[in-house]
């Protein structure tokens, strides 16, 4: 489970769509009080930052649409509370880039 802090424009198809799916999972866990993965570090770093998570979702959606994908899973903007900017990181941006490079995917890192 991961929400990258890398620009969505640099993500390959696999990472773009995978992150979108995982973002919805984190959103559901936080907004609906679900138990599964509620203590996962990636979920915890978004607690109190749903405005920032919503903004990341919108960036992902914009990129998906730009690439020709159809999007039909909007988030409820009314639930986007808390901080607008994510400043907590599990891995630094430099580390995230290295992780993605090591995957040898089509990401433009």
Confidence (pLDDT) at 53: 98
Confidence (pLDDT) at 87: 96
Mean pLDDT by 10 residues, the chain (109 residues): 96 98 98 96 98 98 98 97 97 97 96
From residue 9, how far is each of 15, 41, 48, 89 by CA, in Å? 11, 25, 26, 20
pTM over 0.85: yes
CA distance 78 to 103: 36
What are the sequence ranges of the domains in the chain?
8-102
Confidence (pLDDT) at 1: 87
């Amino acid at each position: 489970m991961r929400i990258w802090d890398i620009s969505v424009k640099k993500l390959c198809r696999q990472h773009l769509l995978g992150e979108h799916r995982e973002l919805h999972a984190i959103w559901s866990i936080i907004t609906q009080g679900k138990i599964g993965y509620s203590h996962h570090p990636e979920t915890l770093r978004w607690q109190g930052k749903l405005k920032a998570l919503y903004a990341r979702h919108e960036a992902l959606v914009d990129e998906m649409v730009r690439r020709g994908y159809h999007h039909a899973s909007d988030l409820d903007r009314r639930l986007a509370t808390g901080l607008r900017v994510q400043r907590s990181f599990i891995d630094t941006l430099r580390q995230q880039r290295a992780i993605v490079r090591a995957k040898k995917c089509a990401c433009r890192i």
